[in-house]
Structure 1
């Protein structure tokens, strides 16, 4: 049984003081919580080092929201994978829909970033998803296939084992996002699993696929019950610590029930 991956991206929210307060409390809450849950947080750049100092002796993984594909150079405003590795970052979130929409990131650029992350031993968390218009035109499978095949070009099989995928339909994220039906999510995740196997062979069966799209305390467990959903990538519902604790407690209960059922079967 694989660990369930649960994490959150804070986007451009939380000051350093707020980040430290949140992380300190989360660390205390998660201590001795469940070895079957892999927890990660992705703060803004200014909070990375202070947060790393808090989580460095815990099981909580630390991620960054973006990075450049070059180790160094004249790229004003960018951040090097070398610098992120230096301060203890373990995960790199790549390809979020806001990066695609506002900063013109393409799948070709993401491919270069994925290669750079793997080179430096950083785990790429690759975000993919279709727009509302693409969904309404029944192009979801084609869009996701194009994204995965472009990003995964020339990725070695042994490197692919380090990848995480986050399916985040662009119509289901953000403040005005539409809540996705679990049945639809299960269908798409099954499609993604088939695509990963097509691209990577046997390794494609083990690459985790998280779901992120207006996840909250009411729909977290229905999503986790979907086949091929390996975890949840949570937005604003995790920014409030009490709300995030509620979700984590539900996940813990879900994991314990699943283990009991499997041990009896």
Structure 2
């Protein structure tokens, strides 16, 4: 499979932002802006309280609903947690797991993230698995080792039949919301190549060529095309820029344009 045959994906991760009114306005703005365009897969991941609200707006649109996290149980005495059953019930198709903020601020381990991945897939949710290194790890030349470890751990014991329902998001932790450190498109391309190579060793070349690997290091309208044009960069996991409809739509348009270029015959 050629890189151009992998569909571009843009995921808006709203994190802990928006009120009900803001979520409504933002979701409607994105729906209106995307319209009938199907050149890019667009996924919105609002906070838990607004999933049903946003999901209702996304119905009959080309945009899919995703969640930012979940707990690996169907139900039970887990105060403050949300199950995949609940996410499916409000219309979610995707869930983000292993996000750098969950790893580094909430202390989630590789083993716990793997438990979530396997449970999400078994429950019927598609998974966006986040991996990435810190600034200290990059300075110590540990980028490849960290990506290797997180991918190996995150996908341990995942059934081969479920691989088409998994995508990978590369998050250089040191470049997220950091004005002093920015990843270059070349650094993103290099990291994606590492991940695809490791995926190939784990599951074979065909699976590696098919897996979507998106970039998640402070993607904005002014740099989206530079990242999305790189070989092996199949989309973007967008944080801050996803909170403004016009900015997210600009990134979507960049993905559409790059997707069309890749699909042109050579």
- TM-score, with normalisation over the residues of structure 2? 0.94
Instruction: Please state whether the residue corresponding to 1:77 is helix, strand or coil.
Output: coil
Question: 73, 84, 88: which one pairs with 2:76?
Answer: 73
Matched, 1:238 2:242: yes
Q: Which structure exhibits the higher relative contact order, with contacts defined as CA atoms closer than 8 Å and separated by 6 or more residues? A: 2
Instruction: Please state whether the residue corresponding to 1:103 is helix, strand or coil.
Output: coil
Matched, 1:216 2:220: yes
Question: 106, 115, 118: which one pairs with 2:118?
Answer: 115
Are the counterparts in 2 of residues 8 and 235 from structure 1 also a CA contact under 8 Å? yes
Aligned residue for 1:63?
Answer: 66
Aligned residue for 1:179?
Answer: 182
Aligned residue for 2:207?
Answer: 203
How far the C-alpha of 1:251 sits from its partner, in A, is 2.7
How far the C-alpha of 1:256 sits from its partner, in A, is 3.2
Instruction: Please state whether the residue corresponding to 1:161 is helix, strand or coil.
Output: helix
Matched, 1:12 2:16: yes
- Measured in 2, the distance between the counterparts of 1:128 and 1:151 equals 9
Root-mean-square deviation over aligned CA pairs: 1.3
For structure 1, the 5+ residue unaligned runs are none
How far the C-alpha of 1:176 sits from its partner, in A, is 4.0
Deviations 1:117-157 (A, max 9, x none): 11111011111100000000000000110111111111111
Instruction: Please state whether the residue corresponding to 1:49 is helix, strand or coil.
Output: helix
1:238-257 matches, cutoff 5 A: 238-257=242-261
1:22-37 matches, cutoff 5 A: 22-33=26-37, 35-37=38-40
For structure 2, the 5+ residue unaligned runs are none
Instruction: Please state whether the residue corresponding to 2:169 is helix, strand or coil.
Output: strand
Q: How many residues align?
A: 261
Are the counterparts in 1 of residues 7 and 259 from structure 2 also a CA contact under 8 Å? no
